[in-house]
């Protein structure tokens, strides 16, 4: 793809966008580009500016500075009803006085689409979210998961070029959330439009997105594919927020990396060996004793106190260990081994 074509294909562009509420810089100089058809996640803790960014794209907030573009068109000053995006709200925002079918039909009714076509497309949209026979019900008669699907159908029926999702799975329980993750992904592939997804759940962001942006204090810390962000975190914040990590600072960093850091190594990249065993060729290693072992079913999480000072968290799969092993692991002498390349240098 040439540079020009890449520019033209950008579904969403934030150009140096800021949003200040009085003294508070909710969004502070964010620049982002999201390609057409991408499943893009904005990940960050609450108050990091991700939802404000989404709201500026939808038109509910106006940037204090900067420019928001949709498919190359500057929409910074357009009201929400003039924008070709639709939103799935965190609280679903279904109209309580309208039936499910009327909720889904809302956008088409506003556009004065012919009645028979509305009926056909409502049926289609409810089929898409697997609620074909729910048209006559009121939102109050639905479960949380069903409301979420109706909200999705109500947005998708308008065939927006970009769909915005504000923590849409936040209110669902774990099982339902995992099921909806898969379904959302399938629906996105089916309709082929850009999905822009806000979440504070790093697992969700990793599982669903083609690319993600990690937000912190109104700024974007890193943009990349889930693998890039997880395996090559750029900053201390990203390394800590996406997955768990051993943050190496000061003495510990000096000893393990030869530089004062900061650096990070994932707990699952460290191997737990018997103290007398030797590390593999090219591997670095250190000895210590287990201070704490937490049995987590599929794996056990150890905190190891190194003989030379400092602690490292290690996660080991429970291939032939069980809860009883974890229970008596405390105080056991171990050797830790890792590939030096597993340690990533970070930006403060």
Q: Which is nearest to 342 in space by CA: 277, 279, 251, 270?
A: 270
Q: Which is nearer to another protein, 85 or 187 (CB)?
A: 85
> Is-contact 276 342, C-beta < 8 A?
no
Q: Which is nearer to another protein, 98 or 321 (CB)?
A: 98
Report how far residue 70's alpha carbon sits from residue 16's, in angstroms, rounded to the nearest whole number: 15
Closest approach of another protein to the CB of residue 165, in Å:
12
Q: Which is nearer to another protein, 16 or 91 (CB)?
A: 91
Handedness of CA 261, 263, 267, 269 (dihedral sign): negative
> Which residues fall within 8 angstroms of residue 180, CB to CB, at 6 or more apart?
145, 148, 168, 169, 172
Q: Which is nearer to another protein, 101 or 314 (CB)?
A: 101
Q: Which is nearer to another protein, 193 or 263 (CB)?
A: 193
Closest approach of another protein to the CB of residue 211, in Å:
24
State the Cα torsion 77-79-80-85 to the nearest 10°.
-50
**Pairing, β 246-248 against β 219-224:** unpaired
Report how far residue 103's alpha carbon sits from residue 71's, in angstroms, rounded to the nearest whole number: 27
> How does DSSP classify residue 235?
B
Compute the 3-state secondary structure of the chain and give helix, strand, coil in percent, each to the nearest 5.
35, 30, 35
Q: Which is nearer to another protein, 105 or 334 (CB)?
A: 105
Which residues are paired to 251 by β-bridges? Answer: none
**Binding footprint of another protein on the chain (CB under 8 A):** 58-60, 79-81, 85-87, 89-91, 93-97, 106-107, 110-111, 154-155, 158
Closest approach of another protein to the CB of residue 245, in Å:
36
Q: Which is nearer to another protein, 94 or 336 (CB)?
A: 94
Q: How many Cβ atoms are within 10 Å of 271's Cβ, its own excluded?
A: 18
Report how far residue 185's alpha carbon sits from residue 195's, in angstroms, rounded to the nearest whole number: 9
Closest approach of another protein to the CB of residue 156, in Å:
11
Closest approach of another protein to the CB of residue 104, in Å:
10
Q: Which is nearer to another protein, 51 or 209 (CB)?
A: 51
Closest approach of another protein to the CB of residue 90, in Å:
8
Closest approach of another protein to the CB of residue 149, in Å:
15
Closest approach of another protein to the CB of residue 50, in Å:
17
> Which residues fall within 8 angstroms of residue 123, CB to CB, at 6 or more apart?
132, 135
């Amino acid at each position: 793809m040439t540079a020009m074509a890449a520019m033209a294909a950008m579904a969403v562009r934030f150009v140096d966008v800021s949003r200040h509420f009085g003294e508070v810089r909710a969004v502070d100089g964010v620049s982002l580009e999201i390609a057409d058809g991408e499943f893009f996640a904005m990940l960050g803790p609450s108050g990091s500016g991700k939802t404000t960014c989404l709201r500026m794209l939808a038109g509910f907030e106006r940037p204090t500075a900067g420019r928001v573009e949709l498919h190359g068109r500057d929409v910074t000053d357009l009201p929400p009803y003039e924008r070709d995006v639709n939103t799935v709200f965190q609280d679903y925002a279904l109209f309580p006085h309208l039936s499910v079918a009327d909720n889904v039909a809302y956008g088409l009714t506003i556009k004065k689409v012919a009645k028979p076509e509305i009926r056909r497309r409502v049926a289609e949209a409810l089929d898409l979210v697997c609620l074909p026979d729910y048209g006559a019900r009121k939102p109050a008669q639905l479960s949380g998961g069903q409301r979420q699907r109706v909200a999705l159908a109500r947005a998708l029926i308008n065939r927006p070029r970009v769909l915005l999702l504000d923590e849409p799975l936040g209110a669902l329980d774990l099982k339902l959330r995992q099921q909806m993750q898969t379904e959302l992904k399938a629906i996105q592939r089916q309709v082929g439009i850009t999905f822009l997804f806000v979440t504070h759940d790093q697992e969700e962001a990793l599982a669903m997105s083609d690319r993600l942006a990690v937000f912190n204090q109104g700024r974007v810390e890193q943009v990349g594919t889930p693998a890039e962000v997880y395996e090559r975190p750029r900053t201390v914040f990203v390394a800590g927020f996406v997955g768990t990590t051993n943050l190496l600072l000061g003495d510990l960093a000096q000893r393990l990396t030869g530089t004062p850091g900061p650096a990070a190594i994932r707990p699952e990249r460290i191997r737990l060996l018997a103290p007398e065993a030797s590390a593999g060729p090219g591997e670095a290693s250190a000895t210590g004793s287990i201070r704490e072992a937490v049995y987590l079913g599929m794996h056990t999480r150890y905190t190891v106190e190194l003989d030379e000072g400092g602690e490292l968290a290690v996660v080991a799969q429970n291939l032939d260990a069980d809860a009883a092993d974890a229970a008596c692991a405390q105080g056991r002498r171990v050797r830790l081994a890792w590939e030096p390349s597993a340690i990533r240098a970070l930006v403060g």
